[in-house]
Amino acid sequence: MTYPSKLIGTPELAACAMATVRKWQADTRVEQFCPICSAPGVKIVDKSSRPHMSWYEFTCQACGLHEAVAVPTGAHTTDHDS
């Protein structure tokens, strides 16, 4: 089985995508720009459902981006000694 190549496939593009997610999280009403083609109107959907990983789905009509980015969250810590 062949998988399609990722558009968000370099560390630089992943960092740009995460910067876009952070701006979107600050105010979801503000229009965001595609991390690939810089076109306005990229759609971001939080698809997270697990406690140790966040998933953000990007969709851009201008360049055809439709991809999810996974972001590990902090490790679980407890308030007691092991």
| Residue type at position 47 | K
**Range 71-81 average pLDDT:** 62
Q: Which residue has the tokens 């960092």?
A: 15
The confidence band for 71, taking pLDDT boundaries of 50, 70 and 90, is confident
Residue 39 CB: number of other CB atoms within 10 A? Answer: 13
- Tens of pLDDT, residue by residue over 2-59, are 666 788 989 999 999 999 999 999 999 999 999 999 999 999 999 987 777 889 999 9
DSSP state of 72: E
User: In whole angstroms, what separates CA 54 from the centre of its chain?
Assistant: 8
Alpha helices in 1-82 (DSSP H): 11-26
